[in-house]
Amino acid sequence: MEKLAKAENPDVAEIAKLAEKKQQLDKDSETKLGAAAKKLVGMELPYELSEGLFYSIASQPMVTEAKANGTEDVTVSVSFRIKINVPLTIGKGESADYPICYKYMDAGGKVVGVSLQYPFGSFPNREAIELQAEQVLDKDLKLSYDQPKYNGATKVVFISKEEYDTLKK
C-alpha cells in the first residue's frame, strides 16, 4: 500500500532535485559547446566555385563568429570577399540579376542545404553601381551556417542561380 501511495503522490523534492541536476548538466553542456565553438573562429571553410559566375572568391571563406545555440547546436558566420570577373553596371535599385548562390555539401558529396544573397543590396533607392573587372567588392559577405539546418556540411560550393533554383525545389 505504501508503494501505491508513493506512485500516486510522487516525491516533489526528488523531482525538483532531478530537474535541478538536468538544468546543471544542460548548463555544463552549453558551456563546453560554447568553448568548442570559439575554437572554430579563424577556421577556413573549403569551397569550390562553379564555372561561368560573374565573380570569383577574393578571400578564403573563414569562420568569423561561432556560438553555442543551446546544448547541441553551433551557429557560425563565415566571411569572405568576391572579385568581379567582368565589368558590371547595376542599375539604380537593381540587384536581383546578381545573386551569390551556394550549396552546402557533406563529406559524402550530398547537398545538405542551399542559400543565396544579394551582395549589392536590394534597396529601391540605391544608386547605380559601376564595377570594373578584377575589382574586389569592398565589403565582407557572410554565409550563415546554422548547424540544425545544414548539419554535416563540410564545404560550400558557389553555384549559378539556375542550379540554385533547381536545388531549391
Across residues 57-69, what is the average pLDDT?
Answer: 87
pLDDT at 68: 77
Print the domain residue range for 114.
38-168
Phi/psi for 134 (5° steps) reads 75, 0
Number of domains in the chain: 1
> Is residue 15 in a domain?
no
Q: Is 85 within the bounds of a domain?
A: yes
Residue with the three cell numbers 548562390: 101
**Residue whose C-alpha is closest to residue 100's, from 160, 52, 44, 148:** 160
Q: pLDDT by residue (tens digit) across 89-113?
A: 888 877 778 899 999 998 999 999 8
Q: What is the pTM of this model?
A: 0.76
pLDDT band at 53; cut points 50, 70, 90: very high
Q: Which residue has the higher pLDDT, 133 or 18?
A: 133
Would 28 be classed as within a structural domain? no
Q: Which of 7-21, 60-74, 85-99 has the lowest mean pLDDT?
A: 7-21
**pLDDT tens figures, 158-167:** 999 999 999 9
User: In the predicted model, is pLDDT for residue 83 greater than 70?
Assistant: yes
Distance CA 109, CA 159 (A): 15
101: nearest Cα among 167, 162, 160, 165: 160
Look up the CATH number of the domain holding residue 83. Answer: 2.60.40
**Chain CA centroid to CA 32, Å:** 21
In a domain? residue 152: yes
Q: Are 74 and 147 in contact (CB under 8 A)?
A: yes
